[in-house]
Chain A
Amino acid sequence: MSDADASGDSGDDGSGAFGAAIERGEDVPLLTGSGEYTDDISRRGTTHLAIRRSDHAHARIENVDTGDAEAMDGVLAVYTGEDVVESGVPNTIPTAWDLPGLVQPQYRMLATDKVRHEGTAVAAVVAETPHVAHDALERIDVEYEPLEHVTDPVEAVERDVSPVHDEAEDNVAFDFELGDADATDEAFADADRVASVDLRQPRIIPNAMEPRAALADWDETTEKLRLWMTSQNPHLHRMLLSAGTLGLPENKIQVIAPEVGGGFGSKIYHYPDEAVTAWCSMQLGRPVKWQATRSESYLTDCHGRDHVTTGEIALDEDGTIRGVRVETHAGLGAQLSQFGTATPSYLYATVLSGQYTIPAIHCRVVGAFTNTTPVDAYRGAGRAEGIYVIERLVDVGARELGMDSVELRRHNLVAPDEFPYESAAALVYDSGEYERAMDLALEHVDYDELRERQRELRDEDRYIGIGVGNFIESAGLSPSGLAGDLGAQAGGWESSIVRFDSTGSVTVLAGTADQGQGHRTTYAQIAAEELGLSVDDIDVVEGDTDRIPQGMGTYGSRSASVGGGSIARGAREVREKARRIAAHQLETSVDDIEFEDGEFHVAGAPDRSLHIQAIAHEAYLGHDLPEGMDPGLEETNFYDPENFTYPFGTHVAVVEVDPETGEIEIERYVAVDDCGEIINPMIVEGQVHGGIAQGIGAALYEGAAYDDDGHLQTRRMDEYAVPHATQLPDFETDNTVTPSPHNPIGVKGVGESATIAATPTIVSAVVDALEPFDVDHLDMPITPESVWRAAETGGDR
C-alpha cells in the first residue's frame, strides 16, 4: 500500500465525503443540553473533593493542622502530602521530555516540604457536598515560613535569589542551544546590516470555557479505577497515572474523556489534582468528584509563553537574510510540566527559519524555574513564540534597510522547488508554496493600493497600519523516532480501529480526543471516502481507554494528519480485505475487481458486483472466504508518520490607531492558510477563526501578571481579558492547497496555525501604523495606553 495516495483518492472512486462542508454530527447533543461534560456525570454516593492551595508564592510548610476540618459534619477525610507519601504510591508527576543536563526536581501530588507557587496543592478535603468540602478548606490551618520568591525568568537566573528548587541553585532547569554558533557569528560579521529587537511574550492563561474536572470511581472488588476527566489525551493520562502517580497497572485504569469543553493545550497535562481525586476514591472506596473553580483554573492550568528574548537579524543591502541569532529566557514555572521543557526548546528554536532561506541560525534558551504556575504548551506552543520572533525580526530588518517588509519577505522565501527544504534550524519542511499564499493574501487587501491609502491618510493625521505575518508550523509531533532523538518520553504515532459490523455499519475507534474540533465528523468523512459509504454509516468513538485500546491524543495540530492518516490507512486495509473476498465470491482475480461507490464489480461487467456492506456480512458469516483468510472485517492501525507536516500561510491585518487616544481598530483581517488537503472546509474555517481570536487576544488583550508578592493578579475573568464578541472583527479566510507529500491523505493540520499567525500579524500592523512616530516594536498586549505612550515618546518607553 502506498501512503502517497493523497486526498483519499486512491485510484478508486470514493464517496465524495472527503472535502465536503458537512454539518457536524456532534452538534445536536451540544445544542440541546444533553451532551455530557465531566461535571454533568454523577455516580451513586458521589463525594466531593476540594483542594487547599497555598496563598504564598514560596514558603516552607511548617505544619498542617487538619483537626478542625476533620471534625466538621459531612467531612469524610482530610489528607495532606504526608498521607499521600505514607500510602506508598509512586506520587510523581513526571516530565515527558528530557533535555541534556535537565534538572528534574521532585513534583508530588500534594506538597510536603515547600510550596513553590501560589496555588500549590497542600491538602485535600473529601466531603458529602461541594459546599462542605469548600467550607472545610477554611478550617485547615497551614503554618508557613515565607521564603523569597521570583516570578520573572531573567531575574530568576541573573539575580541572587533563593532558588525555587535546591537542585537548581541558579534556577536554571536547562540551558539549550540549537544551530551553529560559529557560522552564525560569521554571518553577522559579514553582513551589511544588523537589526535587533528585545521583546517579551507574556504569559497566556488558556481559559478553556470548561474548567478542569475529574470523577473517580475506585471499584474495590475488581481493584479497577474509572476516571472521567477533562482530557485531550486519555491514553497518555492512563499511562502517566500508572507510571507516575498511582502505580496501578495500566489495565486497571480506565480513563474516560466525555464531552470536553475546550483545551488549547491546558488539558494535555497530568496535574496533581486529577491524581489526588483518584487517590481519594481509592482511600475511601467512594466515588470522588473534583470540579475546578475558575480561580483554580487560573492558578493551576498550565500557562503559556512567558519568554524574554533578544533577537538579531543579519542582512545584506539587497535584503538577503544572512543569519538570525536569538537568546531567550523562558519561564517554566515552579515545576516541570510534561512538555514544559520541549515547548520553549525544540518546538521553539526549530521554527526560527520561518518561511525563509536563512543560512545560519543560532538560538540559546535558558529555561528558568520561577515561583509561578507551571508553563507548558498553549495553542501554537513554541512554534507561535518562534514565528513571532522571526516575523518581528523581518519587520525590524525591513525598517533597518528602508525596504518594504513584503519585499524583504518575498526576497527570502523558500521557493517551491527547494522542498524538501532542510532549514538551518534542523527541520526538513515537507512542501510549501509560500509565495502563492502570500500573494493571495495581499491580493485580498489590494496591498499596493493600501500602501498608497496609508500615505494619503497620514497627510490627514490618520494612521493605518498594514501587518503581514508569514508562518510555518511543525505539526503532528511525530515520527516517534525523531521525537525520541530530541528527548520525547512518549511516542508520536497515532492508532485507530476501523471496524465493520456484520450488518454493514462501521465504527471508527480513534486514539485522539476531541475538545470541540469536530473529529466525529471529519473522521467519518475520511472513512466514508475510503470505504465508499455515507458519513451516516460511520460512527466515531473517542475518549475511552477501555473502548479504544491505544492512542496518543490531540495536541500539536496532529489529529487530522496523524489520527486521520491512521484511519485512512486502516480503512484501506479493510477495503483491500473486502476486495479479496469480493474477488473470491465473484470468481475472478483480485486485479479484475474495481471499486466504486462502495460496490466491488468485475472489470467490464458492472452487473457482477457485491457491495462492501454485503461483504462485511460475508466476512462475519465466514462460510465462503478465500482459502486461509480469517473471518471478520476490521483493522487496527498504528501510524507513525515519516516526518512532521508543515502547514503555512500568510495573514494580513489592517488596523487604524488613534495616537490621541491609543485606540486600535482592526479594519480588516485576512487569513490565507494552507493546511494541505481539506477534509471539511467548514471545520477548517472554524479552526482558523478560533485561532485568530486567540492570536489577537494575545496581541491586544491578554496576559497574566504577578504582583510584587508573587500573587497572580489576573485570577478572575474580570481581571484577565478573554476577548468578547465586541472586541473581535469579522475575519476573511481563504486557502491554498499544497498537499503534504508524505501524509496518507495529504493533510497538514490546522489546529494551531491561525494562533501562530495572528499574533505577529497584529503586532506588525500596529507597529506599522506607528512608523511615523519612530516606533519599531511594542510588547504585548498592546493596549491603548501603550500605543498612546509610544506615540508620545517615539517608542522610548
Chain B
Amino acid sequence: MWKPPTVIANTTRGRTTEETRRQYMSEHEISVTVNGERHELAVEPRTLLVTALRDELGYTGANVGCETGRCGTCTVAVNGETIKSCTRLAVQTDGAEIETVEGLADDGDLTPLQESFQEHHGLQCGYCTPGMLLSADALLATNDDPTREEIREAIEGNLCRCTGYQNIVDAIEATADRLGERR
C-alpha cells in the first residue's frame, strides 16, 4: 500500500494567503446593496458580478453554468433589470441595488412563484432554478397574463436540462392566474 506523504511538498513556493493577496491584486472598493443589505467589498477589476456575489458575499444561489451568458443560471436583477451576472463586472455595479434568489422568500415564506414551482414540479436538480425564478418574476412584473408562448420566450435565455420546461411554464402560468385572481 502506498503511504501518503507526511512532508508537504512544494511549500517553499507557497505564500500565505492575505499577504500575497494584497501584493498581487489591484483591488477596487465598491459597495452594493444585495436584497436590501448594503455591503462594502474590494474586488479585482476583472471579477465578475456573479463571482463577487458568490465568493465574496456568500450569495451562492446564483450559479455559474457557462461563463458566456448563454445558460442563465447566474441570472439576478440589478437596479430592477434582469441580467446574467456573468456578463457584468462587479466594479460596474458599484452602488447598485441587486436582487438574488435569496431575497425572494420572506422569512422563509415562499413567494407564490416559488410555491408554484414546487406544486408543478418545475424543478429537478435545481441548478437553473434561481435564474428561472428571477426571469419569471421579471416577466410577471410586466405582463400579468402571459400566454404560454410568451412564457417560453421569457425563459428562453435560461437553460434547463432536467424538466423539458413544460412544468416550469405551468408553474409560471399558474402563478399569473393566481395573482390575477387576487386583483
Q: Which residues in B have their C-beta under 8 angstroms from that of A716? A: 66, 68, 70
B129's partner among A23, A30, A74, A730 (CB-CB below 8 A) is A30
Q: A37 an interface residue at 8 Å Cβ cutoff? A: yes
Say yes or no: A27 contacts B118, CB within 8 Å.
Answer: yes
Say yes or no: B162 contacts A32, CB within 8 Å.
Answer: no
Task: Please indicate which of the listed interface residues B2, B17, B108, B164 has the most CB atoms of chain A within 10 Å of its own CB.
Answer: B164
Q: Which residues in A have their C-beta under 8 angstroms from that of B17? A: 45, 128
Say yes or no: A210 contacts B159, CB within 8 Å.
Answer: no
Say yes or no: A70 contacts B13, CB within 8 Å.
Answer: yes
Closest residue to B1 on the A side, CB-wise? A247
Say yes or no: A76 contacts B101, CB within 8 Å.
Answer: no
**B18-63 interface with A by 8 A CB criterion:** 20-21, 23-25, 44, 46-47, 54, 59-63
Closest residue to B8 on the A side, CB-wise? A285
Interface size of B by CB at 8 A reads 76
Binary interface encoding of chain A residues 220-250 relative to chain B, with 1 for a CB under 8 A from any of its CBs, else 0: 1001000000000000000000000011110
Say yes or no: B63 contacts A518, CB within 8 Å.
Answer: no
Say yes or no: B60 contacts A40, CB within 8 Å.
Answer: yes
A671 shortest CB reach to chain B, Å: 11
Check A210/B127 contact, CB under 8 A, given A32-B101, A77-B9, A689-B164: yes
Inter-chain CA distance A127–B47, complex, in Å, is 16
Say yes or no: A35 contacts B5, CB within 8 Å.
Answer: no
Say yes or no: A516 contacts B64, CB within 8 Å.
Answer: no
Task: Please indicate which of the listed interface residues B59, B149, B162, B166 has the most CB atoms of chain A within 10 Å of its own CB.
Answer: B162
Q: Which residues in B have their C-beta under 8 angstroms from that of A293? A: 67
Say yes or no: A284 contacts B61, CB within 8 Å.
Answer: no
Say yes or no: B121 contacts A88, CB within 8 Å.
Answer: no
Q: Which residues in B have their C-beta under 8 angstroms from that of A70? A: 13
Check A24/B159 contact, CB under 8 A, given A90-B2, A725-B169: no
Q: Which residues in A have their C-beta under 8 angstroms from that of B125? A: 30, 208-210, 259-262, 515-516
Chain B contact residues: helix, strand, loop or mixed: loop
Say yes or no: B102 contacts A32, CB within 8 Å.
Answer: yes
Inter-chain CA distance A523–B54, complex, in Å, is 32
B164 shortest CB reach to chain A, Å: 3
Inter-chain CA distance A689–B122, complex, in Å, is 11
**22 pairs from A and B in contact (CB 8 Å cutoff):** A26-B126, A28-B110, A37-B127, A39-B64, A73-B15, A77-B13, A89-B2, A208-B127, A209-B71, A209-B125, A210-B125, A210-B127, A211-B64, A246-B2, A262-B162, A284-B9, A284-B14, A693-B164, A717-B68, A717-B159, A725-B160, A726-B156
- Interface residues, chain B, CB within 8 Å of chain A? 1-2, 4-6, 8-11, 13-15, 17, 20-21, 23-25, 44, 46-47, 54, 59-68, 70-71, 73, 100-102, 104-105, 108, 110, 114, 117-119, 121, 123-130, 133, 148-149, 151-153, 155-169
- Interface residues, chain A, CB within 8 Å of chain B? 23-24, 26-37, 39-40, 45, 70, 73-77, 87-90, 128-129, 131-132, 207-211, 218, 220, 223, 246-249, 259-262, 264, 282-285, 291, 293-294, 515-518, 682-683, 685-686, 689-694, 716-718, 722, 724-726, 728, 730-731
Q: List 6 other contacts, CB 8 Å, given A516-B125, A717-B68.
A: A31-B126, A74-B21, A293-B67, A717-B66, A726-B152, A730-B148
